[in-house]
Amino acid sequence: MKRKGILVVVSGFSGAGKGTLLRGLLEAHREQYRLSISATTRAPRTGEEYGREYFFVSKEEFGQMIEQDALIEYACYVGNYYGTPKDYVVEQMEAGKDVILEIEIQGALKVKERFPDTLLLFVTPPTAAKLENRLRGRGTETDEVIRDRLRRAVEEAKYMDQYDYILVNDDLDVCVKEMHELIQAQHLRTSKNRALIAEIREELCCL
Ligand code: ADP
Ligand code: 5GP
């Protein structure tokens, strides 16, 4: 029986280590996972490439994607729009890959509403002080943007208990392992195995 992929949402405060963790997960299990690439109206950071980190688009292009219903969800985050293109996610899940969306909270809750089997994971550093250190240490944002993102984290923390699991990113390797195990356990959920249940029931009746 062909196994469909799991849809996984990974959210967490900016600087919590989501990108770093997902790179680790994909390096360790490249065949099993696919990372959805979002569209955004944010400008690329140094080193970021179109089609690798994001599809960087204009506000007009983003508006067209909304009109054409090409996005599973979208949200505005600190002044820029971000959205998840639908076709890639659907194709990869059909092909049996577990698809990961690294998106913020408003988007995560919209995805869960649309696809109730979605696994929602929230990544947090062990302490708020470590969050600030990581965000500053990354060196990719101005002081003002860092302050905005830390303020936004206060709001995001209000929604942490709507997630299925909280992953504490202290030791990176431990956290990558925990993430992999949680996702793979999701394949065993009753709701993902309806066809198997029906088949076994039928077979039992024929014995
Ligand atoms: P996010 O994608 O959540 O915004 P990043 O993956 O960019 O976060 O990580 C923010 C910074 O924290 C980066 O400089 C990264 O190297 C560092 N970092 C990530 N995970 C850890 C960890 N477990 N321990 C120490 N530093 C980490
Ligand atoms: P960044 O600018 O740091 O790359 O991302 C800012 C925030 O936008 C992060 O919290 C990230 O998870 C979120 N994000 C990235 N892509 C999407 C998306 O497609 N949809 C939504 N809702 N949020 C996204």
Q: Whose CA is nearest to atom 11 of ligand 1?
A: 134
Q: Which residues contact 77 (CB under 8 A, 6 or more apart)?
A: 104, 152
152-173 pLDDT per residue, tens: 999 999 999 999 999 999 999 9
Stretch 130-151: mean pLDDT, rounded?
Answer: 92
What pLDDT does residue 78 have?
Answer: 84
Please measure the distance between the N-terminal and C-terminal CA atoms of the chain and give it in whole angstroms.
21
- Decide if 185 contacts 192 (C-beta within 8 A): no
DSSP state of 36: P
52-73 pLDDT per residue, tens: 999 999 999 999 999 999 999 9
Q: For ligand 1, what atom is nearest to the CA of residue 16? A: 3
In terms of phi and psi (left: phi > 0; alpha: psi -120 to 50; beta: otherwise), the region of 107 is: alpha
Smallest-distance ligand from the CA of 10: 2
Mutate to test the pocket of ligand 2, among 37, 56, 86, 102 (most ligand atoms within 8 A of CB): 102
- Decide if 28 contacts 180 (C-beta within 8 A): yes
* Residue of 119, 55, 123 lying closest to 84 (CA atoms): 55
